[in-house]
Structures are given as C-alpha cells and as structure tokens.
C-alpha cells in the first residue's frame, strides 16, 4: 500500500482537511470574546448557552459527520438484562464484548442475596456521611477484606471510582508538589492533578527509565512527589514493569500509587492484582487504589495502604468526609464478590485463557492488538475514528456488541475497538467473533470516505473544521 495513503485509500492531504482537524492532538481553541451585555446578546443575559461551551462545537461536528457517513451512534444503547457474555438490546441477543464483568459475577445468586439482605437490614442508603451518622458494619467488613487483598494495614471505601482518584490526588498534593504519571493514565488521575494545582509531568507509556529521568530532574524542586501508574491499562491491556517503578520511586523519595481498577480479578494466579502477578511485597507500594465496579460487580472506589494514611484520609478526604457513605447493598455485593474471587480462582484462569485465545486469533489474522498481554482487554487498533465507528457498526449488525474508542478518548491514530473478555465467554463465541472481525475489517478498510462530501455537508450545517 502507498504509505502516503491511509486505510480508506485517501491521500494525506485529503485526510488533513477533515480528520486531522477533527482529531488534532491539541483541541481547537476558540477566540475569547466578551459578550456585549448592553445589546443583550443571546447567552449574555444570565442563561447558559451550551453552544458557547468548550468542546460543544466539536461534538456537534463529529455527530454531523457521522450522520452524513451513515454511522449510527454506538453509545447509550439500552441493555434489557444483565450484560454478561451475551446481552439483549432492542429484543435481539448479542455476543457481548463491551462490559467489564470480567469474572461473570454480575447477577450471581450469592451476590444478589447479599445485596438484598443488606437492603432488608440497612435500607438502600445510609443517609449521611460515614463520619457523622452513616457508618455501618458492612463498610468495615468490606474495607478489612480489601486491605487483606492488598497486604495493607487498612483501606477506605468511597462511593465512586473516578471520584476516588480525583479527591485523593486533589487533596494529597498541592501547588508545591509534583505528579509524575504514565502518559496514558486514566482521566481521573489527570482531573485530580488539575484540582490539586500540582505540577504534572507525564512520561511515555510504560517507560520507567523516562520516569526515572523526569523525577531526577524535578524532585528537588518540589515538596512531595507522587508517581502514578496503572496495574493493567484499560485502553491497551498491557502492564508496566512494576518492580522497576518501585525502584524509581524509592530512588527519588517519591510516593508510588498503583491504580488496580482493571487488574483486580484479572492479574495474578489468584486474580489479586499487580502484587500477585509480579510476586512483589505489596508494602513496597505506598497507595493501592481500586474500583468495585469491574470484577467486584458493584460501584465505588477504595484506597488501601498503611494505617496512618487511611486514618488521615477518613478524617480529611473531602470526597469521603463530605459525601454520603456507600449504600449498604453496594458494599455487600462487593464483599460477596470478593468472597467468590477467593474461593473460585478457576474463574481467573478461564478469563485469561479466553483473552489469550482472542489475542492469538487477532494477531494471527494480522490485526493490530497493540501491546495487550491477553489478560482481559484486547484492543483492535484501526488508526481512524471513522473506521473504528464503521467496524463497530458492522460487528453489531452481525450480532457482536463491541464499542469503538474514538478521538478524543484516544489520539486519532490510536482509534480502536476495545474487546472486554470474560470468564463466561465460550471458545466458540471467541472464534466466531474473531472470524467476523477479520471479514468486516477487510470490508471496512476497502470502503472509501467522501471527505469532500462531508465538508460540504458540514458547511451546509453552518459548521467549520478550521
């Protein structure tokens, strides 16, 4: 193939006219204009004008372009029951690769019974923040279990996973501190850094040597330093060299934090996450963070670590102190799921076997699966948001539900389909999905895109890409 042409057979110049403008690395920065209040301009009389919000123009532009290209909106589809290896959408059954129900525990009778019993005993809400009136025995039972999982002295459970990272980093760091993180770290870490005001220094994905160099340069200029990585990256399905990052943190007197959201239940022979996978001393990590919404089929987030850290956070962390406590059924469901994880490690083996099978089939077919290790997440990188959206739609039309990941969630060149494998999938389902994927990938790659037509359509809608 001519290297100057992309997957649709378009010239680089044609692509630049739309795709690069739609998906440039730096978001479009509109000129700032102060409204003329004397003329009572629309949006300048105390009412919110959504069109003036940053990013609103780009969202509309992408939607209009997708409509012109016949790409249906793949988001907010309603599932009519539990989304496991299969799901029902609009009355039709699909093989499902779009849910992180990794061990197939969502809907398990034991977990459902535990949640129902918690409702009967404590209701659906604790109706207060935990420090003042919202503490329940189920909270401490869950926190003790999570602490034991990570070999930590204690843990603290909060009502949201994303908000756990935001409130922790936003409170732990300040303007005199530095946060050094993987360039592909989760949005919640970035938002926490923004809230904290700390200096933020990203390093290339998985590159512990770069992290070492950056910390060596920045450490002496800051009061505290926090090094943050994920145990299992949710977009790529790859893992960092954790022992090397531990050494980097110790060398520069930095705190080390590992986000285990997609590692718990996935990595290690028992599914206990990063420490289990690398056989390291969990005490070498200062802060373990995780979520309850993946393997533990509930909702919330947690921090595990030394007793003095957790005791401090329980009295000072804004997202805990000023938020209602975790609902009893959510805590009970997570605790019951953890019990099943402990008793049934064969679920972890099945999950990893299925992910490895799919990864092997994809690579054997010549598809780009990036750096996935085949533990639960396998991306299929298309290099184009349009191609990813078209491929997702084609898979859906053939009974396979898999979501596209588009710009700006990832750079345009990294647009992809993201397959979540589970312990519930069968080998037959995996082989058939891989066969359909290869067929539709070839068909979509050969399908041209009328860039000029898209441009004319956007112009008629009053939208510019410049």
Q: Within this chain, do residues 367 and 221 fall inside the same structural domain, yes or no?
A: no
Q: Let me know whether 171 and 311 are in one domain.
A: yes
Question: What pLDDT, on the 0 to 100 scale, is given for residue 290?
Answer: 98
* 298: exposed, middle or buried (Cβ count in 10 Å: 0-12, 13-18, 19+): buried
Average pLDDT score, the chain: 89
CATH number of 459's domain: 3.90.1150.10
State both tokens at 268: 């290690």
Does 121 share its domain with 238?
Answer: yes
Residue 395 maps to a domain:
yes
Dist CA 87 CA 429 (whole Å):
13
Q: Give the pLDDT of residue 308.
A: 97
State the Cα–Cα distance between residues 413 and 407, nearest whole angstrom. 9
- DSSP conformation class of 132: I
DSSP H or E segment with residue 226: strand 225-230
Instruction: Judge whether 111 and 105 are in contact, CB under 8 Å.
Output: yes
Q: Report, as ranges of residue numbers, the positions in the chain whose pLDDT lies below 70.
A: 1-46, 68-70, 448-455, 457, 462-466
Indicate the residue among 321, 343, 365 that finishes a domain.
343
Model pLDDT for residues 53-85, shown as the tens digit of each residue: 877 777 777 777 777 666 777 788 888 999 999
Is 54 part of any domain? Answer: no
Q: How far apart are CA 460 and CA 9, in angstroms?
A: 26
In degrees rounded to 5, what are phi and psi of residue 5?
Answer: -115, 145
Provide the pLDDT for residue 77.
86
What distance lies between CA 3 and its chain's CA centroid?
32
Clarify whether residues 125 and 93 are in a common domain.
Answer: no
Our CA angle for 294, 144, 340, nearest 5°, is 45
Query: Domain total for the chain?
Result: 2
**Same domain, residue pair 259 and 179:** yes
CATH number at residue 233: 3.40.640.10
Please give, one letter per residue, the 3-state secondary structure of 63-119.
HHHHHHCCCCCCCCCCECCCCCCEEEECCEEEEECCCCCCCCCCCCHHHHHHHHHHH
In a domain, 90, yes or no: yes
Range of the domain at 274: 109-343
Residues 329 and 350 in one domain: no
Do the bridges between strand 400-401 and strand 301-305 make them parallel or antiparallel, or are there none, so unpaired? unpaired
Distance from C-alpha of 121 to C-alpha of 141, rounded to nearest angstrom: 15
Residue 316 lies inside a defined structural domain of this protein: yes
- Which neighbouring-strand residues pair with 417? 380, 404
Is 130 found in the same domain as 81?
Answer: no
Instruction: Give the count of beta carbons closer than 10 Å to the beta carbon of residue 89.
Output: 16
So what's the pLDDT on residue 27? 44
Residue 217 maps to a domain: yes
Q: Pick from 326, 343, 360: which residue ends a domain? A: 343
Query: Per-residue b/e over 353-381, b at no fewer than 16 CB within 10 Å?
Result: bbbbbbbebbeebebebbebbbbbbbbbb
Q: Domain check: are 195 and 71 in the same one? A: no
Which one-letter DSSP state was computed for residue 227? E
Residue 117 lies inside a defined structural domain of this protein: yes
- Assess whether 309 and 448 both reside in one domain: no
């Amino acid at each position: 193939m001519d290297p100057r042409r992309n997957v649709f057979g378009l010239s680089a110049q044609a692509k630049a006219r739309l795709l690069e403008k739609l998906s440039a690395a730096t978001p479009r920065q509109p000129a700032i204009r102060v409204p003329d209040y004397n003329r009572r301009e629309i949006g300048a009389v105390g009412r919110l004008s959504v069109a003036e919000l940053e990013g609103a123009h780009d969202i509309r532009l992408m939607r209009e372009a997708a409509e012109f290209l016949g790409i249906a909106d793949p988001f907010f589809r309603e599932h009519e029951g539990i989304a496991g290896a299969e799901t029902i959408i609009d009355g039709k059954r699909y093989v499902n690769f779009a849910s992180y129900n990794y061990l197939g525990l969502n809907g398990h009778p034991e977990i459902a019974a535990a949640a129902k019993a918690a409702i009967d005993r404590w209701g659906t809400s604790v109706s207060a923040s935990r420090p003042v009136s919202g503490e329940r025995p189920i909270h401490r039972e869950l926190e003790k279990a999570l602490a034991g999982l990570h070999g930590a002295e204690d843990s603290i459970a909060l009502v949201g996973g994303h908000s756990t990272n935001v409130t922790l980093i936003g409170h732990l760091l300040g303007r005199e501190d530095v946060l050094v993180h993987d360039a592909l770290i989760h949005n919640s870490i970035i938002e926490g850094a923004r809230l904290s005001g700390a200096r933020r220094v990203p390093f290339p994905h998985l590159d512990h040597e770069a992290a070492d160099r950056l910390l060596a340069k920045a450490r002496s200029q800051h009061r505290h330093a926090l090094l943050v990585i994920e145990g299992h990256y949710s977009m790529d399905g790859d893992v960092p060299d954790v022992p090397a990052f531990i050494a980097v943190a110790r060398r520069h007197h930095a705190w080390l934090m590992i986000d285990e959201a997609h590692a718990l239940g996935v990595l290690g022979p028992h599914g206990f996450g990063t420490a289990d996978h690398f056989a390291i001393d969990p005490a070498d990590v200062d802060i373990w963070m995780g979520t309850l919404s993946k393997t533990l089929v509930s909702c919330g987030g947690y921090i595990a670590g030394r007793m003095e850290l957790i005791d401090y956070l329980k009295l000072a962390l804004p997202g805990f102190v000023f938020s209602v406590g975790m609902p009893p059924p959510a805590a009970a469901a997570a605790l019951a799921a953890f019990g099943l994880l402990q008793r049934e490690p064969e679920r972890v083996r099945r999950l990893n076997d299925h992910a490895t099978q799919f990864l092997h089939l994809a690579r054997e077919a010549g598809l780009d699966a990036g750096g996935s290790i085949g533990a639960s997440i396998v991306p299929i990188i298309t290099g184009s948001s349009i191609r990813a959206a078209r491929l997702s739609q084609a898979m859906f039309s053939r009974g396979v539900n898999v979501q596209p990941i588009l710009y700006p969630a990832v750079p345009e060149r990294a647009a992809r389909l993201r397959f979540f494998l589970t312990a519930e999938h069968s080998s037959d389902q995996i082989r058939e999905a891989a066969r359909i994927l290869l067929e539709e990938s070839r068909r979509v790659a050969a399908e041209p895109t009328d860039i000029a037509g898209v441009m004319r359509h956007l112009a008629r809608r009053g939208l510019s890409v410049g």
